[in-house]
Amino acid sequence: GVDLLTFGESMVSLRSAGPLSAGGSLAMHVAGAESNVAVGVARLGHSVSWAGVIGADPHGEYILRQLRSEGIHVRHRVDAVRSTGVMFLEQRTADLTRAFYYRTGSAGSTLSRDDVDLALNAGPRILHLTGITAALSAEARAAFGYAAERAAAEGVLVSLDVNYRSRLWTRDEARAVLAPLARHADILIASDDELDLVAAAGPGAHPFGGATSDDAEATVAHELLDRGVSEVVVKRGAHGAGVHTATGRFETAAVAVTSIDTVGAGDAFTAGYLSAVLDGGDVPARLERGAVMGAFAVSTAGDWEGLPGRDELDMLAATQSGAT
């Protein structure tokens, strides 16, 4: 089997250098949280499969070519009727990028249980899921739940990144689906403002504001550990990341870099974290590689284009401030 299997919707993103309202040239790229992770893990030398659905159109073909050129084993279905999803990405300022989706009813959103079944039969070491898939459609939500449950039952290590997308569903909708499924995850990954979406106690039980308070974070993390999750990973943007485990709590600072494009930082971090898992690294080593990969993502253009090969990891590791 492969080292890592992931599935989800990849789209074509059309990026503008300035405000979209001013027009100008658009550059075509592949976008998708799961394919971002797939590229990151593949560039670090692991074997990776990606499953998904594309339309019978040239931009769908472009997605397949890009993923294959990264050495990713693509297990796709072509939907003859629906189109590949499209998004505009407007980098409005260095720190603020806006997305405009044209993905409702897309080919990718029809991903179903059958689309992931064969890939699961191959017995990956890690299955990586994101909450985005559960937001796409009823079929995709069923595929997500089926894969999480089956992989967990078969002893495949399940990684789940909450990845809340407010354009696709409300926080309450996301919580209703994701909180019960979180128990299937060995590694649960969330941004600090997403942790309440997998809290068993439900909304209102914890004093969440925008960013989670330290106490609320620890409460939810321990609830998740009690429900069978092994590692609760919390991403804190420029403040680094932390992990709660049964044996304690670990933190890493972010690697100091000049941030020019923050899109994809979380996916890059996840790729680094899972790569270190595959290498047998301990939690501090996982955090460190995650932070280095996140730093590559924010200090280079594109969602995944600037991610390093294994021999390039040291370029930024040398400047790291170290785990705390």
Q: Give me the residues that bind ligand ATP (CB under 6 A), please.
A: 191, 235-238, 240-241, 254-255, 257, 259, 262-267, 269, 291, 294-295, 298
| Cα–Cα distance for residue pair 116/158, rounded to 1 Å | 14
Contacts of residue 115, Cβ cutoff 8 Å, sequence gap at least 6: 7, 51, 52, 53, 75, 77, 143
Measured from the CB atom, the residue of 184 and 235 that comes closer to ligand ATP is: 235
Q: How far is the CB of 252 from ligand ATP (least distance, A)?
A: 7
Q: How far is the CB of 96 from ligand ATP (least distance, A)?
A: 11
For tokens 């593949």, name the residue: 42
CA atoms within 13 A on the CB side of 201: 16
Q: How far is the CB of 289 from ligand ATP (least distance, A)?
A: 10
Measured from the CB atom, the residue of 157 and 241 that comes closer to ligand ATP is: 241
Measured from the CB atom, the residue of 158 and 263 that comes closer to ligand ATP is: 263
Q: Which is nearest to 268 in space by CA: 301, 295, 243, 287?
A: 295
Q: How far is the CB of 278 from ligand ATP (least distance, A)?
A: 19
Measured from the CB atom, the residue of 40 and 55 that comes closer to ligand ATP is: 40
8 Å CB contact between 219 and 200: no
Which residue among the candidates 267, 279, 303, 314 is catalytic per the annotation?
267
| Cα–Cα distance for residue pair 183/163, rounded to 1 Å | 16
Q: Which two tokens stand for residue 53?
A: 């659905």
Measured from the CB atom, the residue of 85 and 294 that comes closer to ligand ATP is: 294
Measured from the CB atom, the residue of 122 and 260 that comes closer to ligand ATP is: 260
Q: How far is CA 190 from CA 59, 146, 235, in A?
A: 30, 21, 6
Angle at 214 between CA 211 and CA 219, to 5 degrees: 105
Q: How far is CA 210 from CA 222, 239, 289, in A?
A: 20, 15, 27
| Cα–Cα distance for residue pair 269/78, rounded to 1 Å | 30
Q: How far is the CB of 17 from ligand ATP (least distance, A)?
A: 19
Contacts of residue 24, Cβ cutoff 8 Å, sequence gap at least 6: 16, 17, 18
Q: How far is the CB of 142 from ligand ATP (least distance, A)?
A: 25
Q: Is 267 a catalytic residue?
A: yes
Active site residues: 267
